[in-house]
Amino acid sequence: MNALVLLLATLGAAAAAELEETGRSHLYNMEIGAARAAFSALDREAPLSPAGPYYQATALWMEEFSRRGGMAGATFRTGQYWSWKKIPPAPELDREFKQSVENTIARAEAILQKEPRDLDALFFRGSAEGLLSAYLASVEHRYYGAYQAGRRAKEYHERLLQLDPGYDDACLLPGIFEYTLATLPRSLRFLGLIVGIKGSKEKGLSLVERAVESGERTRWVARLTLSVMHQREKRYLSALTVLQELERAFPRNPFLPMERGSVHLLRKDWTSARRAFEEVLLKRSAMGPGFDLLEPSLVFLRLGESRLFAKDYAGSARELERALETPGAPDWVRAQVFLRRGMTNDARRMRPAAESDYRRAVRIDADPQTTRLAKEYLEREYTDH
């Protein structure tokens, strides 16, 4: 009988591991519905495990952050989301997300009370705090709360690494924590002065690289994290190499070619950038549900930018007009479109039209950077040299 029980437990663990991997694959292809279905099946297969509710919460956060434009590359790279206007999440989403996080923590704690050295329980206990930190920062804009949750995540995973130095999945969150603290935007650096916190870019990068090289659960999200870090360090070719690997693994994720195009914009390779954005439009049907999470007006905005900086002003005006004509284009895109169209009009020596567009960007006031540039170009004409 003991052998039968062991066999059934082994089979159950194998089925749960397969469902977890299947769900993550759907998640990274931005197939949120299919991912959630797999994670629901995982929860039924392993009802005491913290994995099911943790991944459900992850899917909810990724879907919400995508709809807010947070998966659009430049947001993570520049830390722009720190200064976005606070838009409350839908109450039902907020409730479901936080309940899933609470369930994750409760299940992990129940395991740890019986077995304090359970490695997977420690992993999910810390991961729940890391996910809560991301949500508090990117959705609720509660930055000190995000720091506290991030610190707890780091502590749980550092404890895990002390127990098993080879558990490389536990390197990712401490690495993100170290790097993020070391590269806080200027507007938040006062936080470090007040509470005496600081991080290390070098340590953060090293830990994330360990998760990339040897992680299992975190190997793909670690690669995305490393790509963003490479961009912030201006290692653009390294970032592109990582992104190409991710695109091969998750060809239905539309945010990956968008990210590739954004990196080419940083490299001032306007032709490659344009081709990447056009590729997203060409492949939209093959990308399936993932494309629904990508704001289509954003694609036209990026195409307009690629043509603007290549001094193809007629082409830029055409793409920017397509962005404005996209039904339901959100204010955070419209403000950037008016800024870029103003720059395009300035370059075409159409100053009155440019001033009108800058004023529209200022009135929308979607984010400080766009508003600041629009005000600057109202005072002085944009030039392309």
How is residue 202 written in tokens?
């070098």
In a domain, 223, yes or no: yes
Radius of gyration of the chain (CA): 22
CA dist., res. 270 & res. 150, Å (int): 37
CATH code for the domain in which residue 181 is found: 1.25.40.10
Tell whether 14 and 69 lie within a shared domain. Answer: no
CA dist., res. 11 & res. 293, Å (int): 36
In a domain, 248, yes or no: no
Tell whether 214 and 91 lie within a shared domain. Answer: yes
pTM over 0.85: yes
Tell whether 65 and 132 lie within a shared domain. Answer: yes
CA dist., res. 320 & res. 329, Å (int): 12
Q: Which domain holds residue 176?
A: 48-233
CA dist., res. 127 & res. 235, Å (int): 28
Over its length of 385 residues, how does the chain's per-residue pLDDT go in tens digits?
455 444 444 546 788 999 999 999 999 999 999 999 999 999 999 999 999 999 999 999 999 998 888 776 554 455 554 445 567 889 999 999 999 999 999 999 999 999 999 999 999 999 999 999 999 998 998 988 999 999 999 999 999 999 999 999 999 999 999 998 888 766 555 555 555 567 789 999 999 999 999 999 999 999 999 999 999 999 999 999 999 999 999 999 999 999 999 999 999 999 999 999 999 999 888 888 888 889 999 999 999 999 999 999 999 999 999 999 999 999 999 999 999 999 999 999 999 999 999 999 999 998 889 999 999 999 999 998 7
Query: Helix 51-67 and helix 119-135: axis angle, to 10°?
Result: 20
Query: Cα–chain-centroid distance for residue 20?
Result: 20
In a domain, 263, yes or no: no
Tell whether 109 and 217 lie within a shared domain. Answer: yes
CA dist., res. 82 & res. 75, Å (int): 9
